[in-house]
Every structure is written in structure tokens, then in C-alpha cells.
Amino acid sequence: MGTTPNGNFLVGDWKNNSPWDIMALSKDGNTLGKVVNGEIQK
């Protein structure tokens, strides 16, 4: 669990030798999108 510079939460799961599948969550729990190379993909 980590946070982005603007305070959004990051959660991720490790999947079979693949990169972390990280989703960005806003403070109120809404999913913002998948994070790829540190950027949120809508």
C-alpha cells in the first residue's frame, strides 16, 4: 500500500510473473484507474 503525491491510495496484486497490477484509489474509495509506469491510465 502506498500513496501517490496527491494522496490517492495505491493497491496492487502480484500475478504470475507479471508486473504489479496496481490500481489507484481516491481517498473516498473510488477507483481512478490502473497505474502504469507511475501514471494513472483511465
The one-digit pLDDT tens for each residue of the chain (42 residues) are: 555 566 666 665 545 545 556 777 777 777 777 777 777 777
Residue type at position 24 = A
Q: Give the structural domain span for 16.
A: 2-41
Contact assessment for residue 20 and residue 14, using Cβ atoms and an 8 Å cutoff: yes
Give the Cα separation of 15 and 29 in Å (integer). 23
Contact assessment for residue 10 and residue 23, using Cβ atoms and an 8 Å cutoff: yes
Contact assessment for residue 10 and residue 3, using Cβ atoms and an 8 Å cutoff: yes
Contact assessment for residue 24 and residue 32, using Cβ atoms and an 8 Å cutoff: yes
Which DSSP category does 14 fall into?
-
Total domains present in the chain: 1
pTM of the model: 0.34
